[in-house]
């Protein structure tokens, strides 16, 4: 799909944009997060037929003492 076709599709869909929200523990480098954002954007463009400029990615880092699984904080593991 050309960039112009993707833009036309996005314009037809109005203001609808994909927003991807990734939650993870702290510790990834900026380069790792940058690479993830790049690849996730490519996947969204290919599967959702939207222009890259419409893809928003939020990366939230959550400390292990604020994340629990099975009733147990991850910091206790």
Residues lower than pLDDT 50 in the chain: 14
pTM value is 0.71
pLDDT of amino acid 16: 76
Rounded CA-CA distance 1/56 in Å is: 20
Q: pLDDT digit string (tens) for 45-62? A: 999 999 999 999 999 999
Q: The CATH number of the domain where 29 resides is what? A: 3.30.429.10
Work out how many domains the chain is built from and give that number.
Answer: 1
Question: Which of 18, 26, 51, 52 is the catalytic position?
Answer: 18
pLDDT of amino acid 8: 59
Looking at residue 68, the DSSP 8-state letter turns out to be: E
pLDDT of amino acid 77: 76
pLDDT of amino acid 12: 54
Structure tokens at 69: 């699984």
Rounded CA-CA distance 54/24 in Å is: 23
Q: Is 18 one of the annotated active-site residues of the chain? A: yes
Domain that holds residue 42: 3-76
Identify whether the C-beta of residue 47 lies closer than 8 Å to the C-beta of residue 12: no
């Amino acid at each position: 799909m050309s960039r112009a076709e993707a833009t036309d599709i996005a314009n037809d869909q109005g203001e609808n944009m994909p927003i991807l929200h990734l939650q993870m523990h702290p510790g990834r480098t900026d380069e790792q997060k940058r690479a993830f954002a790049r690849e996730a954007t490519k996947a969204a463009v290919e599967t959702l037929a939207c222009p890259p400029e419409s893809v928003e990615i939020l990366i939230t880092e959550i400390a292990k003492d604020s994340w629990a699984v099975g009733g147990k904080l991850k910091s206790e593991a």
